[in-house]
Structure 1
Amino acid sequence: MFLAVAEGGTVRAAADALGVNHATIIRGIGRLEERLETKLFDKPSTGYRLTDAGADVVDLARQMSKASSQLEARIFGRDQSVSGPLRLTLPVSFATDLLMPTLATFRAAYPDIALEIIGSGAVANLGNREADIALRVVVGDKSPPDNLYGTRLGAFHTGYYVHRSLLEDGAPAAAWLLGADEMAPSGWQPGAGLQMAATPIRFAEMRSQFEAARAGMGITHLPCFLGDADPDLIRVPGVPIAHVGDIWLLTHADTRQTKRVRLLCDHIRGVMRGLAGKLAGQSEKGDVEIA
């Protein structure tokens, strides 16, 4: 709790990070200050600010937190039961559009495993048990960190997609459908008679971009497995798909032998190998030229 407040700056941020009530945080900090017989935070109206004493112990508290996580991971690694919690983190689109039937099958086979599915683009810290298994796209030719045990499952490709109707004569201008910080690609112009709007449309997350493309609003950048699966979308003619990186299934060295970790990893590996063609953009839609 002390670290969560020190790093978040407010009780509310700490409560959200730890998934507890803010009153629990206040009581916990109070007990710690009482036990240490010192004041760790000043409490102005704008938030909690570390006192000199609090600042002195932050690094030690981080070391204690890391050691506690390592202890938990080491014990978890000895667990050979097929019940208990299991956290999987993966990109949102992988969860919602690719692997949910697979995860449903796993759940049906092992109902006593309390599976937690964390759909997120953020990189979870497996050493701190933020997740037990991570399915990640590792960009470029990079390899996962040395403290993680990984299996490369195949290449990941993306492409530019547009609704078929926007390729017809007399179709309205197509807007670039972009993420919040995404830039429109330079160096090429859409062919096949596509007319481009002067201004883009921006979105906070990819799912909305995908739905906007399906609604005929313009061109967006999508994983090939997602764009190719929709009958209303087509790859922008003349624009090759791109190899973004490779898909890795990762576990921590301390927890990879836990039985339920091994069971889910084996399950995902088998399914993902069967999906390798889709992930690599090998589809009857357009060509498979790679940038």
Structure 2
Amino acid sequence: MARLPDMEAMAIFATVVETRGITAAAKALSLSPPTISKALARLERRLGTPLFHRTSRRLTLTDAGGELAARAGRLLAEAEAAEAALLEQASSPRGRVRLTAPMSFGVRAVAPLLPAFMARYPDISIDLSLTDAMVDLVAEGFDLALRIADLPDSSLRARRLRPIRRVAVAAPAYLDRHGRPEHPSELMAHACFGYAYLQTRGAWTFLNDEGEEVSVRPEGPLRVNNGEAAMPALLAGLGITDAPEFLLDDLLESGRLEQVLPRWRRPEASLFLLLPPGKLQPARIRAVADYLTSMLVKRPSGPPPMA
């Protein structure tokens, strides 16, 4: 197996050439002269040829050293330029940010926020991926995620932005035909639409003001992996579904949908902003995270701390 180049020794060699001596190179690199000499000797052993003619007063390049010097100088300059670019990117908002969010929430709540962000940060590009599936941020290379859940993955850093209510609803026409249930257990006699990514695996849990908790597993003719996909059948009066409030507010206000079991409530989930493990984040990721927090957090709670 081929060995990797000794880039450290190559950089030290290029600095010795540039500064015209071991002592000056040691000062430039904040290293000791013996460390510089050892690196040069290591490089010469690896290459099998001397790179300098050494006298008590000066170093001069051999033919091999002269041939290597130009290439080593270019390598060092490119490495310094690459490092400077990455350091600048880490300290100033610039570059690509990969963000994932639930499909309907992303379309309704996240996408409308992007134009103002893009105008504010023209050097940041956002790669927005919308899916209701539980994405593995680390494995799939995402920088940020918005997730609606009861609890976030404990291996991730999380900001809780705001509660998200879920509401059981149906079209008035359906309830007129099939009756309005008064207890969660009565849902078992109704056509209920399921959601594939429900964390409770198909169970609908309800609470009332008296502290009673009831869980049921209703069934019906439709199961979807995106809540908005159930809306046409719901509005057609074909069943009952359970959905987050941001999908329902306008429909409830207009009377096209009616809340089922109004004396009962579903346990609240929360909207979280998730980041992969690790404390250091480039400026571009911090800019997106802080902007989304400021726009999506429920007021007047203020910016939530990182967990």
Q: TM-score range by the shorter chain?
A: 0.5 to 0.7
Quote the residue 2:221 is aligned against. 201
The alignment's TM-score, normalised by the length of structure 2, stands at 0.51
The alignment's TM-score, normalised by the length of structure 1, stands at 0.54
- What is the DSSP-based 3-state SS (H/G/I as helix, E as strand, rest coil) of the residue aligned with 2:296? helix
Quote the residue 1:159 is aligned against. 167
CA distance in 2, matches of 1:103, 1:225: 18
Q: Is the CA contact (8 Å cut-off) linking 2:193 and 2:219 kept in structure 1?
A: no
Matches within 5 A, 1:142-221: 142=151, 144-146=153-155, 148-168=156-176, 175-179=191-195, 183=202, 200-205=220-225, 206-221=227-242
Of 117, 120, 123, 2:131 maps to 120
- What is the DSSP-based 3-state SS (H/G/I as helix, E as strand, rest coil) of the residue aligned with 1:165? helix
Quote the residue 2:266 is aligned against. 242
Specify which structure has the higher proportion of helix.
Answer: 2
> CA 1:80 to 1:228, structure 2 compared with 1: closer, same or farther past 3 Å?
same
CA RMSD of aligned residues (A): 3.6
Matches within 5 A, 1:216-235: 216-230=237-251, 231=254, 232-235=256-259
Structure 1 stretches lacking a partner, 5+ long: 1-74, 189-197, 278-291
Amino acid in structure 2 at the alignment position of 1:204: V
- 1:263 and 2:284 correspond: no
Quote the residue 1:89 is aligned against. 100
Superposed displacement of residue 187, structure 1? 9.2
CA distance in 1, matches of 2:237, 2:115: 32
Q: Is the CA contact (8 Å cut-off) linking 2:99 and 2:142 kept in structure 1?
A: yes
> CA 1:261 to 1:242, structure 2 compared with 1: closer, same or farther past 3 Å?
same
CA distance in 2, matches of 1:237, 1:175: 15
CA distance in 1, matches of 2:99, 2:249: 26
Amino acid in structure 2 at the alignment position of 1:98: A
For residues 240-271 of structure 1, give each alpha carbon's deviation from its aligned partner in whole angstroms, at most 9, with x where no partner exists.
Answer: 23124332212124475311111111111112
CA distance in 2, matches of 1:94, 1:76: 34
> CA 1:268 to 1:178, structure 2 compared with 1: closer, same or farther past 3 Å?
same
Superposed displacement of residue 151, structure 1? 1.3
Q: Is the CA contact (8 Å cut-off) linking 2:162 and 2:298 kept in structure 1?
A: no
Superposed displacement of residue 124, structure 1? 3.0
Q: Is the CA contact (8 Å cut-off) linking 2:99 and 2:127 kept in structure 1?
A: yes
- What is the DSSP-based 3-state SS (H/G/I as helix, E as strand, rest coil) of the residue aligned with 1:85? strand
| Residue identity (%) | 25
Greater shift after overlay, 179-188 or 80-89?
179-188
For residues 115-170 of structure 1, give each alpha carbon's deviation from its aligned partner in whole angstroms, at most 9, with x where no partner exists.
Answer: 1111123333333462101112232xx45424x32211122221111123334479
For residues 84-129 of structure 1, give each alpha carbon's deviation from its aligned partner in whole angstroms, at most 9, with x where no partner exists.
Answer: 2111111112102222211232233333322111112333333346
CA distance in 2, matches of 1:151, 1:132: 14
> CA 1:209 to 1:250, structure 2 compared with 1: closer, same or farther past 3 Å?
same
Of 133, 139, 143, 2:144 maps to 133
Quote the residue 1:42 is aligned against. none
CA distance in 2, matches of 1:269, 1:113: 17
CA distance in 1, matches of 2:275, 2:232: 33
> CA 1:237 to 1:87, structure 2 compared with 1: closer, same or farther past 3 Å?
same
Larger radius of gyration, structure 1 or 2? 2
